[in-house]
Amino acid sequence: MTGTDKSDPRPSPRPHDSHVTRRFFLKGSGATIAATGVVVPVAAQQATPAATPATTERPDPAIAIEFFNPHESATVEALAARILPGTPDDPGAREAGVVFYIDQVLAGPNGGYAVKTYDQGPFLVVREEESSVESTSRTDIYRVVEAPAGDEISRYGYQSLLTPQDIYRRGLKSVDAFAQSSFGKPFIELSDADQDTILEAMSADEATGFDAPSGSAFFTKLRNDTIEGMFSDPLYGGNRDMVGWKLIGYPGARGFYTSEDMANPQFSAPPVSLADSTGHSH
Amino acid sequence: MAQQEKVDVVTVGAGWTAGIIAQQLTAQGLKVLSLEQGPMRETNPDFLSPYEHDELRYQVRREMMVDLNRETWTWRPNPSAISLPMRQYGSFNPGEGVGGAGVHWAAQNWRFYPSDFQYRSHHIERYGEAKLPAGNRIQDWPITYDDLEPYYDRFEYDVGVSGKAGNIQGEQIEGGNVFEGARQREYPLPPLPTSIAADKFTEAASGLGYHPFPQPAAILSQAYTDASGRERGACLLCGFCTRYGCEIDSKASAVVMHIPMAMETGNYQIRTGCFVSKINVDAEGMATGVTYIDATGREHEQPADIVIVAGYTLSNVKLLLMSRSGPHGAGVGNDQAMVGKNYTYQLGGGGSAGLIEGERLNRFMGNSCTQSLIHDFNADNFDHSDLDFIGGGSIGSGGGENNPISSVGGVPTGSGKNWGQEWKDALRQNWDSMVNVGIQGESLPYEDQFLDLDPTYTDRFGFPLLRLTFDWHENDYNLVRYISPKMREIIEAMGATNIQTQEELTPYRIGPYQSTHNTGGAIMGTDPGNSVVNKYSQVWDTPNVFVTGASNFPQNPGMNPTGTVCALAYHTADAIIKQYLDDPGQVMS
pLDDT at residue B545 in the model = 98
Cβ atoms within 10 A of the Cβ of B503, count? 12
Mutate to test the interface with A, among B60, B72, B87 (most CBs of A within 10 A): B87
Cβ atoms within 10 A of the Cβ of B166, count? 22
Question: What ipTM was predicted for this assembly?
Answer: 0.96
Residue A145: pLDDT band (50, 70, 90) is low
Q: Assign B13 to helix, strand or coil.
A: coil
Taking only the tens place, the pLDDT of each residue in A58-110 is: 788 888 999 999 999 999 999 999 999 999 999 999 999 999 999 999 999 88
Q: Which residues of A touch B238 (CB under 8 A)?
A: 254-257
Based on DSSP, count helices (H) and strands (E) in chain B, helices before strands: 12, 22
CA distance B494 to B477: 26
Does A263 contact B193 at a Cβ distance shorter than 8 Å?
A: yes
Report the amino acid identity of residue A66: E
Mutate to test the interface with B, among A144, A145, A248 (most CBs of B within 10 A): A248
Is B421 within 8 Å of chain A by CB? yes
User: What string of DSSP letters covers B167-196?
Assistant: EETTEE-BTB-TTSPPBSS--SBPPPPPPH
Is residue A17's pLDDT more than 50? no
Residue A161: pLDDT band (50, 70, 90) is confident
Is B2 within 8 Å of chain A by CB? no
Residues 342-361 of B with CB under 8 A from A: 359-361
Mutate to test the interface with B, among A123, A231, A235, A282 (most CBs of B within 10 A): A231
Which residue of chain B is at minimal alpha-carbon distance from A263? B196
CA distance A81 to A96: 10
Helix B474-493 with B196-207: angle, nearest 10 deg: 100
Chain centroid offset of residue A98 CA: 12
CA distance A217 to B441: 32
Residue A148: pLDDT band (50, 70, 90) is low
CA distance B186 to B163: 8
Please give the share of chain A, as a percent, with pLDDT higher than 70.
69
CA distance B269 to B361: 46
Is residue A127's pLDDT more than 50? no
CA distance B533 to B537: 5
Residue B315 parent element (H or E): helix B313-322
Question: Mind telling me the catalytic residues of B?
Answer: 517
Q: What are phi and psi of B234, to 5 degrees?
A: -70, 155
Residue A144: pLDDT band (50, 70, 90) is low
CA distance A62 to A53: 23
Q: Indicate the average pLDDT of chain A.
A: 77
Does A257 contact B366 at a Cβ distance shorter than 8 Å?
A: yes
pLDDT tens for chain B, 589 residues: list them: 899 999 999 999 999 999 999 999 999 999 999 999 999 999 999 999 889 999 999 999 999 999 999 999 999 999 999 999 999 999 999 999 999 999 999 999 999 999 999 999 999 999 999 999 999 999 999 999 999 999 999 999 999 999 999 999 999 999 999 999 999 999 999 999 999 999 999 999 999 999 999 999 999 999 999 999 999 999 999 999 999 999 999 999 999 999 999 999 999 999 999 999 999 999 999 999 999 999 999 999 999 999 999 999 999 999 999 999 999 999 999 999 999 999 999 999 999 999 999 999 999 999 999 999 999 999 999 999 999 999 999 999 999 999 999 999 999 999 999 999 999 999 999 999 999 999 999 999 999 999 999 999 999 999 999 999 999 999 999 999 999 999 999 999 999 999 999 999 999 999 999 999 999 999 999 999 999 999 999 999 999 999 999 999 999 999 999 999 999 999 999 999 999 999 999 999 9
Q: Which residues of B touch A227 (CB under 8 A)?
A: 405, 408-409
pLDDT at residue A122 in the model = 86
Taking only the tens place, the pLDDT of each residue in A240-253 is: 999 999 999 999 99
Is residue A1's pLDDT more than 60? no
Comparing C-alpha atoms, which of A78, A74, A166 is closest to residue A117?
A166
Residue A154: pLDDT band (50, 70, 90) is confident
Q: Assign B587 to helix, strand or coil.
A: coil
Does A118 contact B75 at a Cβ distance shorter than 8 Å?
A: no
Does B408 contact A227 at a Cβ distance shorter than 8 Å?
A: yes
pLDDT at residue A280 in the model = 46
The pLDDT of A248-263, averaged and rounded, is: 96
Does B49 contact A250 at a Cβ distance shorter than 8 Å?
A: no
CA distance A139 to A123: 12
- Secondary structure in 3-state letters for B506-554: CCCCCCCCCCCCCECCCCECCCCCCCCECCCCEECCCCCEEECCHHHCC
Q: Assign B154 to helix, strand or coil.
A: helix
Instruction: Kindly report the nearest CA distance between residue B491 and chain A, in angstroms.
Output: 19
pLDDT at residue A149 in the model = 62
Does A157 contact B88 at a Cβ distance shorter than 8 Å?
A: yes
Residues B396 and B194: beta-carbon distance below 8 Å:
no
Is residue A128's pLDDT more than 80? no
Q: How do the residues of chain B divide into helix, strand and coil, expressed in percent and rounded to 5? A: 25, 20, 55
Which residue of chain A is at minimal alpha-carbon distance from B513? A157
Which residue of chain A is at minimal alpha-carbon distance from B399? A262
Q: Which of the pair, B239 or A34, is modelled with greater confidence?
A: B239
Which residue of chain B is at minimal alpha-carbon distance from A265? B360
Residues B503 and B483: beta-carbon distance below 8 Å:
no
Cβ atoms within 10 A of the Cβ of A140, count? 10
Is residue A52's pLDDT more than 90? no
Q: Indicate the average pLDDT of chain B.
A: 97
CA distance A200 to A206: 8
CA distance B357 to B359: 6
pLDDT at residue B345 in the model = 98
Does B408 contact A31 at a Cβ distance shorter than 8 Å?
A: no
Instruction: Kindly report the nearest CA distance between residue A55 and chain B, in angstroms.
Output: 27
Q: Roughly how many angstroms between the first and final C-alpha of chain B, as a whole number?
A: 37
- B427-450 in b/e form (b: 16+ CB < 10 A) is bebbbbbbbbbbbbbbbbbbeebb
Comparing C-alpha atoms, which of B533, B498, B154 is closest to residue B341?
B533
CA distance A139 to A153: 24
Of residues B56, B77, B88, nearest to A116 (C-beta): B88
Does B360 contact A261 at a Cβ distance shorter than 8 Å?
A: no
Residues 364-393 of B with CB under 8 A from A: 364-366, 370
CA distance B311 to B96: 9
What does DSSP say about strands B287-293 and B275-281: parallel, antiparallel, or unpaired?
A: antiparallel
Which residue of chain B is at minimal alpha-carbon distance from A244? B404
Is B400 within 8 Å of chain A by CB? yes
Angle at Cα A133 formed by Cα A130 and Cα A139, nearest 5°? 165
Q: Which residues of A touch B68 (CB under 8 A)?
A: 116-118
Residue A4: pLDDT band (50, 70, 90) is very low
pLDDT at residue A278 in the model = 58
CA distance B437 to B486: 10
Does A115 contact B60 at a Cβ distance shorter than 8 Å?
A: yes
Which residue of chain B is at minimal alpha-carbon distance from A223? B419
Does A157 contact B51 at a Cβ distance shorter than 8 Å?
A: no
Does A262 contact B400 at a Cβ distance shorter than 8 Å?
A: yes
pLDDT at residue A2 in the model = 36
Residue B7 parent element (H or E): strand B7-12
Q: Which residues of A touch B250 (CB under 8 A)?
A: none
Based on DSSP, count helices (H) and strands (E) in chain A, helices before strands: 9, 2
Residues 162-201 of B with CB under 8 A from A: 193, 195-196, 199
Q: Assign B314 to helix, strand or coil.
A: helix
CA distance B312 to B95: 8
Does A122 contact B75 at a Cβ distance shorter than 8 Å?
A: no
Instruction: Kindly report the nearest CA distance between residue B405 and chain A, in angstroms.
Output: 6
Chain centroid offset of residue B547 CA: 15
Q: Which residues of A touch B86 (CB under 8 A)?
A: 118, 157
Which residue of chain A is at minimal alpha-carbon distance from B364? A250
Q: Roughly how many angstroms between the first and final C-alpha of chain A, as a whole number?
A: 53
Does A199 contact B456 at a Cβ distance shorter than 8 Å?
A: no
